[in-house]
Copies of this chain bind each other. A is one copy, B any other.
Amino acid sequence: MTVIDTSQPPAGPARRVAEARPSLLLGEHSLCPGCGEPIALRLLLEVLQELDVVQRSIGVVGHGCYGSFVRIMDVDVLQCLHGRAPACATGIKRVRPDCVVFTLQGDGDMANEGLHEVLHAAARGEKITCIMLNNGVFGDTGGQLTATTVLGQRTKTSLAGRDAREHGYPIPVAELVAGLRGAAYVARGAVSTPGAVVQTKRMLTRAFETQLAGAGFSLVEILTMCPTGWFVPAREGPGYLGDSMERVYPLGELTT
């Protein structure tokens, strides 16, 4: 089997149908092989571009592996305290109502430390878009149990697997938020398969459109692979995500 030269664009007539890097990307990330978070970043940056809102976009980024995206996204960013992004975003949006304001958080950031902030922002119907990268662990600190860790999952602080009697049940953040009247758009996507990636991008687009329409709060929860925190080889990430997380966290839109 001959390997095709892929170091150059094709010589013959061809049309580029997908670019490797979103134009708002400023440099390399240093996340683990097979991590799902950079995929979500790409979608976010593409959507901002496609909606033509870049030059009025402000991001608020929490603490997790995605925190390092602050260095590589060409967007005005407040790197805020762990869990508090929706509160900071509220302050920003209220004094700059014409801006498009979003948060980028993890499950640890949003479902653990910051559950209070996201629920209150949602209940208030703040016109912001919150994005939660849910990998079911604190990736950045080495893979401990979060509020979204699924039952049975082994983490560094649930060595024998998450046990409901000991550690309780996972919290479905998107469902909780969808139960609040201020939440205008809530959806859950994933980045584990090409189809899910396409669907998730559509969700992000709708979420931002909701904000632009002034309709209320929007949330997109995105299931992302964390092979490191799951202690599985990178290539097994998507499968693990589908077998464990997706069963507990079904994909789709939760608002109508």
Contact = CB atoms under 8 A, between A and B. Distances in A.
A125 interface: yes
Given A115-B116, A120-B115, A169 B182 contact: yes
B125 A170 contact: no
Interface in A153-190: 164-165, 167-172, 175-176, 179-182
A43 interface: no
Contacts of A93: none
B123 A171 contact: yes
B123 A147 contact: yes
A225 B213 CA distance: 39
Contacts of A123: 147, 168-171
Contact of A179 (B120, B147, B165, B176): B176
A119 interface: yes
A82 interface: no
Interface residues of A, number: 23
Given A115-B115, A119-B115, A124 B167 contact: yes
Interface centre among A164, A167, A171 (most CB of B within 10 A): A171
B180 A171 contact: yes
A5 B165 CA distance: 57
A136 B165 CA distance: 34
Instruction: Please tell me how many copies of the chain the complex holds.
Output: 2
B165 A125 contact: yes
A180 B176 CA distance: 8
A182 B162 CA distance: 14
Contacts of A147: 120, 123
Contacts of A167: 124
Given A176-B176, A179-B179, A168 B125 contact: yes
Nearest to A177: B176
Contacts of A119: 115, 119, 171, 176
Interface in A137-163: 147
A179 B175 contact: yes
Interface string A102-133: 00000000000001100110011110000000
Nearest to A151: B181
8 contacts: A119-B171, A120-B147, A123-B147, A125-B164, A125-B165, A169-B181, A170-B181, A171-B180
